[in-house]
Amino acid sequence: MSDTARENIMRKLAAAVAHRPAQIPETGALPVPALCQAEKVEQLKHFMQSVRGEVHVVKPKDWVSRLQDLLRPRALKTLLYGPATPHGKTLAAGWPPEDPGLPRLVPYAAPVEDFKSELFQLDAGITGTLGAIAENGALILWPTPEEPRLISLVPPIHIALVDAANIYCNFSDALTAGSWKAGMPTNALLISGPSKTADIELTLAFGVHGPREVLVLVLET
């Protein structure tokens, strides 16, 4: 069925575009604003906070202890992470094994088929990022085998690490700088804050299906 469907559709489309307008308008581009790193950090902060995301700027060597300070008052039981990533290793190395005030680290080490029941019960997840976008405050994530897709989606709190040097002025800038088109990952994501909806009377509510809190640690030297 689909072979003929394909042929029929293609035949009709080819006939249709025989009328192609002589000129296809030139696609312009908006100028990329020139921002310095401090401005980019400021913008990221501004846009994240405007949708209730939390942003903390920290020194790279301090982020684990800062994270602990941020998590203590939240009284979480578990924190999901990718044990084989560089930041995962730093995290594990700096995490006290038996501290009742801190969540227990849970590695995402098995395929989701064997891990799903546990995964859906966890309190928080931490991931790295490929950077962020100053223009709209979005984080850029390319999940990997070491840091799977569901870490940033299923637990109610998502913690993300952003290297201040990797904040791009806008999305186009990020695409070019990272030469995305040379090889797209299974899944690339932009995340601009906690999950939200305005489907009931346009009243904004957070944490519908994805995380209700997004906590960003910007690492700045």
**Which residue from 102, 99, 108 is spatially nearest to 126, judged by alpha carbons?**
108
Measured between alpha carbons, how far is residue 87 from residues 49, 83, 84, 161 in Å? Answer: 24, 8, 8, 9
By CB under 8 A, residue 181 contacts another protein: yes
Please identify which residue in 149, 167, 169, 216 interacts with another protein, judged by CB under 8 A: 149
Region of 7-15, 62-70, 72-80, 124-132 interacting with another protein (CB under 8 A)? 7-15
By CB under 8 A, residue 15 contacts another protein: yes
Region of 64-72, 94-102, 124-132, 171-179 interacting with another protein (CB under 8 A)? 171-179
Residues between 194 and 213 that touch another protein (CB under 8 A): 194-203, 205, 207-211
**Which residue from 52, 58, 82, 80 is spatially nearest to 70, judged by alpha carbons?**
58
For the bound state, the minimum distance from the C-beta of residue 87 to another protein, rounded and expressed in Å, comes to: 17
- Assess contact for 112 and 150: CB atoms under 8 A: yes
For the bound state, the minimum distance from the C-beta of residue 128 to another protein, rounded and expressed in Å, comes to: 16
Please identify which residue in 54, 90, 172, 220 interacts with another protein, judged by CB under 8 A: 172
By CB under 8 A, residue 10 contacts another protein: yes
Question: For residue 46, which amino acid is it?
Answer: H
The strand ranges marked E within 83-180 are 104-107, 124-128, 131-133, 138-141, 157-163, 167-168
Which 8-state DSSP code applies to residue 169?
Answer: S
Residues between 20 and 49 that touch another protein (CB under 8 A): 20-21, 24-30, 47
* Tokens representing residue 72 in the block: 């203590």
By CB under 8 A, residue 177 contacts another protein: no
Taking the C-alpha atoms of residue 60 and residue 219, their distance in angstroms, rounded to an integer, is 5
By CB under 8 A, residue 107 contacts another protein: no
Closer residue to another protein, CB minimum distance, 33 or 101: 33
